[in-house]
Structure formats: structure tokens, C-alpha cells
Structure 1
């Protein structure tokens, strides 16, 4: 794998990302608690699973943190 390539998301992580993208306004920021609530409502994920998914999305660069709030990267425009 080259330096700019990443391994694909698992289907669950991809679905969680889509749920966040569909719920959070473009360019909007949200708290971890809001992210967990979206994943609980849209993907029926318990808190530990939601925390794991957010961590995976962060590690893979799909979300990033600014002053304690999360933001989505614009992955659909790539």
C-alpha cells in the first residue's frame, strides 16, 4: 500500500459514516455525544461500539477534531 492509500472501512464503519454525513450539516461540527446519539439512533449501536466506530473514522481521516468538537472530512467530493 502506498503512503496515500488507506485500507477500506468495514461495512459497519461505512454505514456509520454515511449516517453521520446524512445527519450532520455539511461543514458543521458536532460533539462526541451527538455522534454517539446519531449512531445509536440510525445504526442501533451501543455506546462502546459507537466509540469504536468514531475512533476508526478518526484514525482513517474521515473525521477530525477541532477544540473538542468533531468535523467530517469531505470524502464524497474526492
Structure 2
């Protein structure tokens, strides 16, 4: 089970760390062996991790678009 008390700052996590923690939260919730309060805390943490992952993916997508718009070769053009 994930240690809820040992929460690193979610905003400091990179994508891989956040995704790995999210997977752990999901497994813990799916096991269904937590007290209600613990399950709620896990759910809340999971939601925050989802937001972090989505934010990082949005940032990565924006960077790819900016690189493409700056005249670099598009992958589709290489085929």
C-alpha cells in the first residue's frame, strides 16, 4: 500500500514519478482493503496526480508544437 503520510510535493514530480505514484494509488484503491478515510485520501491524491500528469503532457505538447512551428522538419514530411 502507498504511504499517504510520505507525500512528496506533487508539483515537484516529473511525469514518470507522478505516473508511477498514480499507478500505486490505483492498485491500492482497487484492492479495496482500506478504511473509508484512507480510501478518500488516496482518491484525492490520485486526482492531484492525474492533474499533474495532464499538466506535464500539455506542456510537452506545446513544446512539440513550438518546435514544429519554428521550421524544423515535420515527421510526416520525412515519410
Task: Calculate the TM-score normalised by the size of structure 2.
Answer: 0.28
Structure 1 or 2: more strand by fraction: 1
With a CA cutoff of 8 Å and minimum separation of 6, indicate the structure with the bigger relative contact order.
2
Query: If the length of structure 1 is used for normalisation, what is the TM-score?
Result: 0.28
More helix by share: 2
Larger radius of gyration: 2
